[in-house]
Amino acid sequence: MMIKIDKAKVSMQAQDIEVMLIYSPNNFIYASGIYDTTVQMLMEDKLISQFVILPRESEPVLLINSGALENAEEMSWIRDIRTTPNTSWLVRKRPHKDFADSVAEGIAKILEGKRLTSGRIGIEKGYMPSDMYECLRSKFPRAQFCDIQSILQDLRAIKTDNEIAKIKQAIKSTERGYEAAMASITEGITDFDIAKAFRVAVAHEGDDISHLICGVGAKGGVLFTHPCGFKVKEGDIIRFDLGTVHMGYRSDLSRSAVLGEPSERLIKLHKALLEAQRKGIKEIKPGTKLCEIHKIIKKTVRDAGYTEYTRGMFGHSVGLECEEQPMITASTHAIFEPNMVFSVEVSWYEPGWGGMNIEDMIVVTKDGCEELSTMPRDIRVIK
């Protein structure tokens, strides 16, 4: 079980919410415990709809597409499973009859059965289709509908031991992939081939790619770059921003390398960025505001001589998504709490010259933080 039921119900009580309808793909994975890449894709494309219906005062209900029934029975902690029709014909050894002919009908029947038709109903307003929202409003005119995104964000920000274990495996896969990518670099190799080495190594770990930035030379100074056939030549900086997915949970790490001797400018810049990241991580502990870490990192880079340096974000929570709330910004007054997982990154992007990024992942502990990533942080010099 991923979702923290007791904490969820405390939040529901505080906002007088009688039931939450949890629907978006990642929140559904979090609340249900079901991770299936095909079903996730179908939900993201809005070809199927599935809900965790979480009442404050009674047992939760899983309303799913009947094609996902066997996976739900195996993976979910929720025992009350009800289905809507699947378009594929399935031959089952045991008789099965769908609970409702449509998702909207199923939600209505469940809420009516639990007498939850006139109070405050929590929904994901940013994700629920307007036609479904209007259908529920029409069906339950006495109910009040409120957004639950902030509740779900707060729940997901504090990770369980099981979630942290999955994130650690994703980090392990990323580091294996990075080492393979580094080993592949020689003069004349293309960023396509470097990326291929990363992908193959991650596949050997049994995990998937979350994101893969491999910016070579001047192309590395472009913020959102990708492998596009650039060949590595003497003096080029290679900027990596890498992530993998293990059972839905993600990693996010960055490093930089150079073919041949690094320039004095590169050495100085990297030193400033690394010092800033190290100082920021050293100050992370429960009770510290995220904006304080942003302030420390920016000041350290500026004190090193880069007086105009700035960046909106120096890191973010990581979990089922690569970039989750809360984020390390100048305006984030939320505090670090034990079992929060973050990436902490300090970067430099300069189109036409190149770029670099130092990014590591940490978990907040009871009196500080533990670094989860282990790759060397120096500029990797490739001879």
Contact 331, 340 (CB under 8 A): no
Domain 5-157 matches domain 161-382 at the CATH topology level = no
Helices and strands per DSSP (H, E), number in the chain: 11, 16
Residues in the chain: 383
The torsion region of residue 340 among left (phi > 0), alpha (psi -120 to 50) and beta comes to: beta
Residue-wise pLDDT tens digits, 25-73: 999 999 999 999 999 999 998 899 999 999 999 999 999 999 999 999 9
State mean pLDDT over 5-25: 95
Structure tokens at 370: 């533990």
DSSP β-bridge partners for residue 27: none
Report the candidate in 298, 305, 255 with the shortest Cα–Cα distance to residue 279: 298
CATH architecture of the domain covering 5-157: 3-Layer(aba) Sandwich (3.40)
Please calculate the CA angle 290-296-297 and round it to the nearest 5 degrees: 95
Preceding amide of 326 cis, omega within 30: yes
Residue 1 has pLDDT above 80, yes or no: no
Share of the chain above pLDDT 70, in %: 99
How do residues 341-366 score in pLDDT, each as one tens digit?
A: 999 999 999 999 999 999 999 999 99
> Which pLDDT belongs to residue 103?
94
CATH tag for 161-382 (out of 3.30.70.360, 3.90.230.10, 3.65.10.10, 3.40.50.720):
3.90.230.10
Over the chain, what is the mean pLDDT? 95
The DSSP result for 180-220, as a single string, is HHHHH--TT-BHHHHHHHHHHHHHHHT-EEEEEEEEEGGGG
Task: Find the mean pLDDT for residues 293-304.
Answer: 98
pLDDT band with cut points at 50, 70 and 90 for residue 94: confident
155-213 pLDDT per residue, tens: 999 999 999 999 999 999 999 999 999 999 999 999 999 999 999 999 999 999 999 99
Whether 232 contacts 238, CB under 8 Å? yes
Alpha helices (H) along 287-334: 290-303
3: pLDDT strictly greater than 80 = no
Q: Where are the domains of the chain?
A: 5-157, 161-382
**Structure confidence at residue 110 (pLDDT):** 97
Taking the model in full, what pTM does it have? 0.94
Both structure tokens of 196: 């291929």
Q: Convert the pLDDT of each residue in 264-292 to its tens digit.
A: 999 999 999 999 999 999 999 999 999 99
Residue 106, exposed/middle/buried by CB under 10 A (0-12, 13-18, 19+)? buried
